[in-house]
Structure formats: C-alpha cells, structure tokens
Amino acid sequence: MARSSDPSALDTGKTVILAFAIGAAAMNAAGQIVAVLVLRFLTDNLAISAGIAAALFAVVKIYDGFVDPFAGYLSDNTKSRWGRRLPYLLLASVTMPVAIVGMFAVPDIGNGVLLLIYVGFMLALHGTAYSLYSVPASAMIVEVCDGYHARSTILAYRTYGGFVGQVLGSSVPPWLLQAWGAGRGGHAAMGWVMGGIVFALCIVTIPMLRSARATVNEARHPGRFVDQLKVASRNRPFRIMVFVHVIFMIGVATASVSNAYFTRYVLQRTDAWLGLFYVFLTAGNILAVPVWLRLSKRFDKKNTYVAALGLYGLAVLSWVFAGPHETLWVLGARVTVIGAMMSGVVLLAASMLTDAVRYDYVTTGLRREGAFSGFMSFVDKVSNAAGLMIMGTTLSVMGYAASTGGAAQQQSTGAVMAIRICFAIIPALAPLLSILLLKGYNLTEADLEEMAVPALSEVVGPEAVADAVLACQPAHHAARTPREARA
C-alpha cells in the first residue's frame, strides 16, 4: 500500500484509516458475492425464472434503499458511550454472516412461493445489515477529516480495502465452487466459508474505530424520508452527483449480475475464470489508484473524473468483440485495463460526494453526514434494482432458460445476445451519459475554502472559524462543531 503524502490524512490515525479499509473489504466482499453469484444461483440451481428472480431481487433492493435513510437517521441521532455510529457497525457485523449463509445454504422447500419468501427474507436481511454498516461508516469518513485532498487520501486507502474485498467476494467463491461443485451443496459450503470471512473482517474494525474522531449533532435530523430528500435536493453539487451516480450504477449493476452468465455462455469458460476475472480487475484497480490520486490533485477532481468515466466506458465496450476464441492473457489484459479505469471512477466519485456533504456543513453549520450517506446509499440500491430489472427482463424476453442442474446448458442465440447486451453495451453507455450530466458540477477546493469562512462566521461567530477549518484533528480527540468548541 502506497504511503500517503498528505499529512492531514495521516493525522486522522493510521489505525482508523486501516479500519476503514478493512470495513470496506468486508462490505465489498459481502456485496460482491451477492451481485456476482446469487442471481445465477437462483436461475441455474433453484429453477427460478430469470424474470421472477430479477424482480424479487429488485423489490428487495428497493426495500434496502429505504432502510438506508433510516440508518442514516439512527446513526445521526444515537447517543451512546460508543458514539453515534459504532453500535450499528457491531449489529451489522453479526447479522451479515447469517444472511450470507442463509442465501446459499437453502433448505429443501421446493420451488414455490415458500422458496421465494425464504430467498426474499435472506436478501432483505443481507441488505439491512449492509446498510447498518456502510451508511454509518461512510458518514464517519466526513467526520474524521475536513481537508479537501485529505479525504481523497483516506478514501484511497478505503478504496484499496474495497478492492481486496472485491477479490474475496468475487474470486474466492467461484474458486470454491470450482473445487466443491456448482450444485446446491457446493454453494452451501461456500456460503459458510464466506460468512466466516466477512464476520472476522467486520468484527475487528469495531475496537479499531473506537479512537476515531467523532462529532455531535446539535440540530434535529431530518427524520422523514421526504425531509431528507429535500435536504439533499437543496445541495446542488450533491444533486448533480446523485444523477450521475444513478446512471453509472445502473450500468455497473447490469454488468455485475451478468458476469457469471457471460463467463459461462459467451466465453464458455468455467467458474475458475470468473474468479480470475476479479484478480485481474483488482490488479488494475490497485495499481492505478496512486495515479488517479495524483492526477486529481493536478487537474482537479471533476476533470479527472470525466476522463476516468470516458476511458472506462470505451474499455467496457470492447467486450462486444470477446468470445471463446480469446486467450486467457488477452482476456486478462482487457480486464486489467478496465480495472485501472474503474478505480479512477470509484475513487473520484466517492471523494466528490464527500465534498458535496462538506459543502452542506460549511454553508449551514449542521452535522447531517448520516442523512446524506443514507440517501446516497438509497440511490445505490435503487440503481441496482434498475440494473437487475434490466438484466432479468432482457434475459426473459430474449429466451433465457432456467434449470436446476447448476451446470452449463445450451442457450438460444437470442439469450446469448441478451447476455452480451447486459455485460458490454449497457455498462459502456452508462458512463458516457454520466459525463453529460456532470456539466453543471463546479465545486472545487477554492470554492469550499472561500465559502467556509463567511458561512461559519455567520453561524458560530468569527472567533471559532480558525479552529473549524483545520484539516484534521488527532484521532484520539473528539471533534466538535465550532459552537461546541466555544462552549
């Protein structure tokens, strides 16, 4: 892992930064195992049609989306000796492994309504646990550090952790299935192993984050979802990033759930390649992060983000020409390039979103990080639901046949074409459209610095401004708003 050149980020505390990285690894592993394998497990092992499986998945994702703002509300308003966020991280650490095991160790209850209810419950439990961890953890990123580029540095480490989780959640499970078989028994054993890994990663972050800088909310949190929507909509930079993120995440969700199908029916390779895919992808992710970080400091975040989106879209479009004839090294090279471009998109999007949340604080003096994190997570879930519906509908309309064998079977030409559309064309168009939506975003480091002094002076008085705009405080001190510091 590269050493940070930003001292304000390191002042946050190396243990805290490492905890963010480990937590990201846990959540990404938990999310990827569902995104990559569950839909194929439902269609190819439980004989649930692609349309019904995708619709069930999408409904649960929408439910998860409404859990996210509620999780933000709870974490903004909770008072405990562990602070506002940690109790929910602990609860999620326990429930997430249960959901992972339950989704793949499915009891023999037939293939009717009862099966759908069981699968839906486990998916909902997984999504709830994911929200209870990811929303408070994302809010903490804004709390621990105020610096414009310092947040990018911290997020770079968190991004590294997320990429490790990507391998754990996307490569290890297919390899286990390759070794133990892709039947229901193999999926159940894989679920137990992955549940244990996620639990270990989650639980270790709890004591590590006890020393994280924290804030205390003075203002009433916008509890109702409609009120949180109003708060988010008034923040123009945040509003723009939401629209950009929706379009991009629809493309990512469509690609993620179709990858296992693409591997089996288009590339005609085993799950061993599906696991290797994410090794190449993660290699590109990790190698490119320091480059994107330097470029963002030189050319500003928005310009670098636009470049990353464009290059990623073009790289993904190249999957249109892929097929069984391509060698492992050609496939690996393509995936590595895609990973390198994707790392820029992930890093810069996350950093720009934290800037938009910081913009809310410097212009209002209110601590509402959880509200914004919850709403953004809601957007993620709705986008994923849309991607799933697109995938399921496309497969169903173009003739994909479900089964119970768990092994590759012959699919029609139309079904294979549908998989290509979902894995290559839709994910390539999404980032290119996102670039057009970014036109109105103009928040820069200079803008935040210029706004911070008058806005905070108006809210808390000029004597507190100097303390409020410090980049970061030592990790073992509790951060307070300027009003609290004076009191």
Q: What is the pLDDT of residue 157?
A: 84
From CA 311, how far away is CA 326, in angstroms rounded? 22
Lowest mean pLDDT among 87-101, 225-239, 287-301: 225-239
From CA 189, how far away is CA 194, in angstroms rounded? 9
Q: Does the pLDDT at position 474 exceed 60?
A: no
Q: What is the pLDDT of residue 361?
A: 76
Q: Name the token pair of 463.
A: 């004597």
pLDDT tens digits along 391-432: 889 998 998 888 766 555 678 899 999 999 999 999 999 999
Q: What is the pLDDT of residue 219?
A: 46
Question: Mean pLDDT, to the nearest integer, of 292-317?
Answer: 93
Q: Which residue has the higher pLDDT, 8 or 357?
A: 357
pLDDT band of 457, cuts 50, 70, 90: very low
Q: What is the pLDDT of residue 98?
A: 97
Q: What is the pLDDT of residue 451?
A: 56
pLDDT tens digits along 365-382: 776 766 777 777 778 888
Query: Would the pTM of this model clear 0.85, i.e. be above it?
Result: no
Distances (CA, A) of 254 to 124, 248, 420: 20, 10, 11
Q: How many angstroms separate the first and last alpha carbons of the chain?
A: 41
Q: What is the pLDDT of residue 484?
A: 37
Domains and CATH numbers, the chain: 13-213+221-482 (1.20.1250.20)
pLDDT tens digits along 116-141: 999 999 999 999 999 999 888 887 87
Contact 143, 215 (CB under 8 A): yes
From CA 415, how far away is CA 398, in angstroms rounded? 5
Q: What is the pLDDT of residue 215?
A: 53
Q: What is the pLDDT of residue 128?
A: 94
Percent of the chain residues topping a pLDDT of 70: 81
R_g of the chain, CA atoms, integer Å: 22
Q: What is the pLDDT of residue 470?
A: 35
Q: What is the pLDDT of residue 7?
A: 42
Q: 48: left (phi > 0), else alpha (psi -120 to 50), else beta? A: beta
Q: Which of 462, 472, 476, 215 is nearest to 361 (CA)?
A: 215
Distances (CA, A) of 387 to 116, 235, 375, 394, 477: 20, 26, 18, 11, 43
